[in-house]
Structure 1
Amino acid sequence: MQQLNVEQPPCFIHVTGTQRDKYIEFEFSIGDPELAVEMIMPVKAFEEFCAHHQVQHLSTDDFAKIEYDRMKWRFGQAGIRE
């Protein structure tokens, strides 16, 4: 079977927390950091996952911008009332 040579879009993560120093909670996205899934993994698995996907860690500023956009999406623009 011939394998397609398709370029992998960039992958992003943002660590959101830890549990009992055993698990990492994070958001993972492919291509668009605004569309993410929440995940949790043991530390070793998380490290392997990040290496396998060659993830880019979102900065605190980048994540704050994404969260601000999410809030606008959920609640609408500030100052506009229905």
Structure 2
Amino acid sequence: MSQEKTTMDLSRKFVRLVERREDGLVEFEFSIGDPELYAEMLLPADAYEDFCRINAVTVLEGEREEVEQDSGLGWSLHEANTRRY
């Protein structure tokens, strides 16, 4: 069996805005190389703008794709804080 090697471009950085909160904090997802693998982050608005500029991010529009609900993997910290499970 041959497996294709895929390379990840670690110079590419992505941000998906989740929410600009009333308390001045910005919730967002930050990815390096692959937008599907992300860390959920929270920064003050000014720090968020600096973070995006310094990292030369590509801003991802819209919501991420839904994960099948029955898998147990389709939730985020934002969703856990805003929905009742």
TM-score (normalizing by structure 2) = 0.64
Partner of 2:15: 13
Please tell me whether Structure 1 or Structure 2 has the larger radius of gyration of its CA atoms: 1
- The runs of 5 or more residues in structure 2 that have no matched partner are 1-8, 72-85
1:73 Cα shift?
A: 9.0
Alpha carbons of structure 1 residues 41 and 50: separation in structure 2 relative to 1, 3 Å: same
Post-superposition offset of 1:72? 3.9
Number of residue-to-residue matches in the alignment: 64
**Dislocated runs of 4+, deviation >4 Å:** none
The structure with the greater share of residues assigned to helix is: 1
Deviation at 1:74, TM superposition (A): 6.4
Decide whether aligned partners of structure 1 residues 53 and 10 sit closer, same or farther in structure 2, where only a CA change above 3 A counts.
same
Q: TM-score, normalised by structure 1?
A: 0.66
Query: Which residue pairs with 1:49 in the alignment?
Result: 51
* One-letter amino acid of the counterpart of residue 20, structure 2: T
Identity of aligned residues (%): 37
Tell me, in whole angstroms, the C-alpha distance in 2 between the residues paired with 1:59 and 1:24. Answer: 15
Please say if 1:37 is aligned against 2:2.
no
Shift of 1:59: 1.8
The equivalent of 2:61 in structure 1 is: 59
Deviations 1:9-46 (A, max 9, x none): 21000000122151110000000000000001001000
Counterpart CA distance in 2 for 1:73 and 1:34 is 17
Compared with structure 1, are the counterparts of its residues 8 and 34 closer, same or farther at alpha carbon in structure 2 (3 Å cutoff)?
Answer: closer
For 1:43 and 1:11, how far apart are their aligned partners in 2? 19
